[in-house]
Amino acid sequence: MTNLSHIPLIKDQLGRALRDLRISVMDRCNFRCVYCMPEDKFHPGFKFLPSKKRLSFDEMLRLVRIFTKLGVTKIRITGGEPLLRVNLTDFIGDLSTIGNIKDIALTTNGVLLKKYAYELKASGLDRITVSLDSIDPNEFKLMTGGRGDLDRVLSGIDEAQRAGFQRIKINAVIKKGINENNILKMVEYFRDQPVVLRFIEYMDVGTINDWQQQETIPSSEIIELISNKWSLSPIKQNYEGEVASRFIFDDIGTEIGFISSMTNPFCGSCTRARLSSDGKLYNCLFASTGIDIKSWIRSDMDDKTIEEKIVSIWQSRNDRYSELRYLNQNNKDKEKVEMYYIGG
Ligand code: SF4
């Protein structure tokens, strides 16, 4: 157990400590999910970041070392699709040598997982979350902009389990009119497997997905739908700040979760900072602007100075978008960062 008592707690305006850093290592993706990268906006001519604009892994490692001095112990690697970034497993290997890091997780669409599962395990990765919104091959293709091969994702999940990854999380975003008819089929498919299926309320992340309130199905309705078929019991969180509300199936004891940013926001315990692949720091998934810290590490600024600047960014943080979503009328037209760019 890493002793963190020597690390001063850096708290924001709402008393939330900085504990988690989510790093988007890549803005590109090989899917075009309708709520994140709709094909019509991310067409073949769309200009993604040129690689020299992205942080190098050495630059990311330097930043991570700085963040761990400020209390960060958990790293989540996201995208776009992170497995598209070359030498990712080397980066994870280097991350796992940084003393204060207790947990390294990866969020992927799973289509390249079969290829990298054993390498990822050997590199020191602790946990995997796979974004999978349907167990129906046609619907899955529809949701991924015609690019998702369901069999490849499912065989990737199987391979990752064979490689030794346990309790793989399966995150499914439910969008009304697209995949709500698949909810019970997904439960049927996964509930007796050693994975944790989690349903996510469709959120107004970014602006490109043209989110409409009526397309969000509240978790309470999904829980009711599932409970009509299988008896569920709530269980307590694994740790403070966990985003999912957890339940078990009373008959077989396996777990299922619900992430309800729309109807049951969890900003009060949000300890997450986000870093885009081109080095912008965001204090919230729904932020409008990020702070360019790449220019700092590409200047002759020393680590101590960068540390102090990050401390003041976090200490001035008062973001709680999900709690204020309906209260603040301006939110509706607010320009927000896109999910593909900073990861979920
Ligand atoms: S809306 Fe922002 S502050 Fe609230 S939980 Fe999400 S990222 Fe954290």
109-146 tens-digit pLDDT? 999 999 999 999 999 999 999 999 999 999 999 999 99
CB of residue 286 inside a 6 A radius of ligand 1: yes
Residue 11 falls inside a structural domain: no
Residue 2 falls inside a structural domain: no
Residue 180 falls inside a structural domain: yes
Give the span between the Cα atoms of 171 and 196, in whole angstroms.
Answer: 8
Residues 6+ apart with CB under 8 A from 260: 201, 218, 219, 245
Residues 6+ apart with CB under 8 A from 157: 110, 113, 130, 132, 168, 170, 195
8-46 tens-digit pLDDT? 679 999 999 999 999 999 999 999 999 999 999 999 889
Query: Comparing 33-42, 69-78, 81-90, 276-285, which segment has the lowest mean pLDDT?
Result: 33-42
Residue 15 falls inside a structural domain: no
Contact between 113 and 161 under an 8 Å Cβ cutoff? The reply is no
Distance from CA of residue 156 to its chain's centroid? 18
Residue 35 falls inside a structural domain: yes
> Ligand 1 centre and the CA of 282: distance in Å?
11
Which residue among 285, 318, 334 has the greatest number of ligand 1 atoms within 8 angstroms of its CB, and so is best to mutate?
285
CB of residue 259 inside a 6 A radius of ligand 1: no
pLDDT of 2 strictly over 80 = no
Decide: pTM greater than 0.85. yes
Q: Would you state the pLDDT for residue 241?
A: 83
Closest CA to 211 of 257, 155, 173, 264: 173
pLDDT of 226 strictly over 80 = yes
Q: Would you state the pLDDT for residue 327?
A: 74
Which residue among 242, 286, 334 has the greatest number of ligand 1 atoms within 8 angstroms of its CB, and so is best to mutate?
286
Could you identify the atom of ligand 1 that is nearest to the CA of residue 285?
Answer: 7
> Ligand 1 centre and the CA of 195: distance in Å?
25
Residue 3 falls inside a structural domain: no
Q: Would you state the pLDDT for residue 160?
A: 98
Residue 51 falls inside a structural domain: yes
Residue 10 falls inside a structural domain: no
Sorting pLDDT into bands at 50, 70 and 90, what band is 6? low
CB of residue 267 inside a 6 A radius of ligand 1: yes
Give the span between the Cα atoms of 315 and 10, in whole angstroms.
Answer: 7
> Range of 248's domain?
20-342
> Ligand 1 centre and the CA of 109: distance in Å?
22
Q: Would you state the pLDDT for residue 1?
A: 44
SS3 298: coil
For residue 63, the domain's CATH number is 3.20.20.70
Other C-beta atoms lying within 10 Å of the C-beta of residue 177: 10
227-283 tens-digit pLDDT? 999 999 999 998 888 999 999 999 999 999 999 999 999 999 999 999 999 999 999
Which tokens sit at 167? Answer: 């309790």
Q: Would you state the pLDDT for residue 344?
A: 80
Number of compact structural domains in the chain: 1
